[in-house]
A and B are shown apart, each in its own frame.
Chain A
Amino acid sequence: MGKKILMKGNEAVAEAAIRANCRFFFGYPITPQNEIPEYMSRELPKRGGVYLQAEAEFAAINMIYGAAGSGARVMTSSSSPGISLMAEGISYIIGAQLPCVLVNMVRGGPGLGNIAPAQSDYNQAVKGTTHGDVHLIVLAPSSIQEAVDLMYDAFDLADLYRNPVLVLGDGMIGQMMEPVEFKEATNKKLPPKTWAATGTRNSPDGKRRIINSLFMEPEDLESLNLALQKKYKEVVEKEVRYELYKMDSKLDVIFTAYGTTSRIVKYVIKKLEEEGIHAGLIRPITLWPFPQQIIGEYASNSSAKAFVSVEMSSGQMVEDVRLSVNGKKPVYFYGRTGGIVPEPKEIISYVKSIL
């Protein structure tokens, strides 16, 4: 472990990626994540890597596709409208079973929206990123330290499952400063990239490699889909992550919140405690795979009267909370949108109104 340094979220994410041995970055500027490409353009050439500014996000993601197929550890970062532009390429990358890391520092939508923090891309991240029967593994940090730690895991998970991993932050995570410590690269034992197309002279078996997502025979395409689903089943079994905060035995209400809003909710829980209301928080760290099981267990076994999902959206994650609770308790939603970060006092009065 190194020493603690004060860093802006975006720069910390970029530094963590380099320390996780990412050596290739392709991207296009968009606020509020510009410090990531700026940092990469400054640091990667000094550290044996390549930074390249693409002409658009759709080009950036296809550069990622090419570099990932060549066996490189590669990433891009963007914010909401840019991720929409990458959608087609992400599907090709998943279809060709290639690893890469994507960062979305979410901003207010729809359209050009604004550059303030938002969580309105939850559905895009976990359900509707792109066409086909696909998933991204989605990691949602709630602090800069956690964003840093998750970057290392993001690259390892991508390599392990040969699937893109999305780190879903927001304008707040990207722009604020916090003290962080960087660990050394995980050096996790990962399967060798024998599938990479690096020229037949480098091929371990002398055979040529084809990086491809086209399978004209329906049986062949179904085989690909079955292989993807098998992988996704394993991800669901092994990779769910969450934090339980003050989930004690005597609960009146259970919050669900991720990322920036989970920090506000933690403060709200302390304030409610002072008024004798016992609240706890289930904070998903992986948004996909979603911590469905633990939420279901608390829905069955806890004394809480209700769940409240707090989000900076019009109610997106709450749908997954409802599926997990499965009718066992009422599930309420409180959210602000448009780039507004909810105030603790609004959440407190909402909770009181439903209890």
Chain B
Amino acid sequence: MGKIVYEKSKGLTDTPLHYCPGCLHGVVHKLIAECLVELDILDKTIGVAPVGCAVFSYRYFNCDMHEAAHGRAPAVATGIKRALPDSVVFTYQGDGDLASIGTGDIVHVAHRGEKITTIFINNAIYGMTGGQMAPTTLPGQKTTTSPYGRDPAHCGMPYRVSEMLATIPSAAYITRVSVYDIPHIVRAKAAIKKAFQMQIEGKGFSLVEVLSTCPTNWGLTPIESISWLKENMEPYYPLGVYKDVSASEGGN
């Protein structure tokens, strides 16, 4: 008898993922699913899918799901959590969804200290609609709506969501991670687990920003995408913990 060394998480359904080859959305799905199972909360979790490439995530996460309008996942999650305070609620959102059309929603879900968890996929572009500029698009980065490269004189510099949200008093846990190699995947999983734990303990709003790739719309191979992320995104969006109320509780 062979020993099972790896199994697909029960937190995911058997539906094949539709993401492009080399896209990191799938890796993040897997981590969330594993955390929900390991924390034994899958049967009381309600997820909120965004509008973006992850729109079909309601097909993949093996728990109850809501599909929200573009940018509105935090408001939908608020309604769910207020109606079902004993449940675990998460949103899964891209950078167009969260940092553009839904900026108000994410700021206010943090401001109210909603006991929900947000997984924020920052890939510096709009994936689903075909590669348009996002608020997170880097200076000089070419997209279908910044064909000459993002010009900060024309449309400003990309803003940093985690740093901004960390200034909000009722945000409990804000961290930025990536998933481009095994050590980073391990750290990202720990962050996601901690974010859910903060919710379960009623500490307040938790968000994990994940630097991710979009090989299709970046026009790069999966391997090149990872190099591009490391060389361009990571310096502008430094990884790290931006807020952690549990750390300050313990005293430094």
Binding site for B on A (CB under 8 A): 24, 26, 50, 52, 54-56, 58-60, 62-72, 74, 88-89, 92, 96, 197-201, 203, 208-214
Query: B68 an interface residue at 8 Å Cβ cutoff?
Result: yes
Report the minimal beta-carbon distance from A343 to chain B, rounded to whole angstroms: 43
Contacting residues of chain B (45-88) with chain A, CB-CB under 8 angstroms: 45-46, 48, 55, 58, 62-69, 72, 75-84, 87
Known: A72-B83, A199-B87, A200-B42. A212 touches B72 (CB 8 A): no
Shortest distance in angstroms between B213's beta carbon and chain A's nearest beta carbon? 24
Contact B79 A26 (CB under 8 A): yes
Q: Number of B interface residues at 8 Å Cβ cutoff, please give it.
A: 34
Contact of A24 with B63 in the complex, beta carbons under 8 Å? no
* Closest chain A CB from B216 CB (angstroms): 19
Which single member of A24, A210, A213, A214 contacts B64 (CB below 8 Å)? Answer: A210
Which residues of the partner chain A approach B79 to less than 8 Å between Cβ atoms?
Answer: 24, 26, 62-70, 72, 74
Neighbouring A residues of B44 by C-beta, 8 Å: 199, 201
Q: How far is the CB of B164 from chain A (nearest CB, A)?
A: 16
Report which of B66, B68, B104 forms a contact with A197, defined as CB distance below 8 A. Answer: B66
In the complex, the answer to whether A59 meets B75 with C-beta atoms within 8 Å is yes
Interchain CB contact (< 8 A) of B46 among A72, A89, A197: A197
- Asked if A209 and B64 sit within 8 Å, CB to CB, the answer is yes
In the complex, chain B residues whose CB is within 8 Å of the CB of A50 = 82-83
The answer to whether B78 and A66 have CB atoms under 8 Å apart is yes
Q: Is B151 on the interface with A (CB-CB < 8 A)? A: no
With a CB–CB cut-off of 8 A, which chain B residues contact A60?
75
Q: How far is the CA of A74 from the CA of B80 in the complex (A)?
A: 11
Q: With an 8 A cutoff between CB atoms, is B224 at the interface?
A: no
* Chain B neighbourhood of A88, CB < 8 A: 69
- B197 nearest CB across to chain A (Å): 18
Distance in angstroms from B62 CB to nearest chain A CB is 7
- Chain B, residue nearest A69 (CB): B66
Q: Say yes or no: B83 contacts A71, CB within 8 Å.
A: yes
Query: Do B43 and A63 touch across chains, with their CB atoms under 8 A apart?
Result: no
- Return chain A residues, CB-CB under 8 Å to B107: 55
Q: Is B95 an interface residue (CB 8 A)?
A: no
In the complex, are the beta carbons of A70 and B83 less than 8 A apart? Answer: yes
- Asked whether A197 lies within 8 Å of B65 as measured between CB atoms, the reply is yes
Residues on B with C-beta less than 8 A from A213 are: 67
Closest partner residue, chain B, to A62 (CB atom): B75
Closest 5 A/B residue pairs (Cβ):
A66-B79, A62-B75, A63-B79, A67-B79, A197-B64
Query: A201: nearest residue on chain B (CB-CB)?
Result: B43
Is B34 part of the contact surface with A, judged by Cβ < 8 Å? no
Interface CB pairs A-B, < 8 A, 6: A58-B75, A66-B75, A68-B79, A89-B69, A198-B64, A199-B44
Residues B83 and A24 in contact, CB atoms below 8 Å apart: yes
Pairwise interchain contact B83-A66, C-beta atoms closer than 8 A: yes
Residue in chain B with minimal CB distance to A61? B75
Q: B64: which A residues are within 8 A, CB to CB? A: 197-200, 203, 208-210
* Nearest neighbor of A58 in chain B, beta-carbon distance: B72
Asked if B65 and A59 make an inter-chain contact with CB atoms under 8 angstroms apart, the answer reads no
A161 to chain B, nearest CB (A): 20
Q: Knowing A65-B76, A66-B78, say if A214 contacts B67 (CB, 8 Å).
A: yes
Closest A residue by C-beta to B81? A66
Bound together, the chains give a CA A56 to CA B102 distance in angstroms of 12
Q: How far is the CB of A307 from chain B (nearest CB, A)?
A: 41
**A3 to nearest B CB, angstroms?**
33
Chain A residues, CB < 8 A from B108 = 54-55, 59
Give the nearest-CB partner of B46 in chain A. Answer: A197
Smallest distance from the beta carbon of B90 to chain A beta carbons, Å?
A: 12
Q: In the bound complex, do residue B58 and residue A59 qualify as a contact, i.e. CB atoms below 8 Å apart? A: no
Which residue of chain B has its CB nearest to the CB of A199?
B44
Residues of A close to B68: CB separation below 8 A: 62, 65-66, 92
Mask of B181-219 contacts with A, CB within 8 angstroms, 1/0: 000000000000000000000000000000000000000
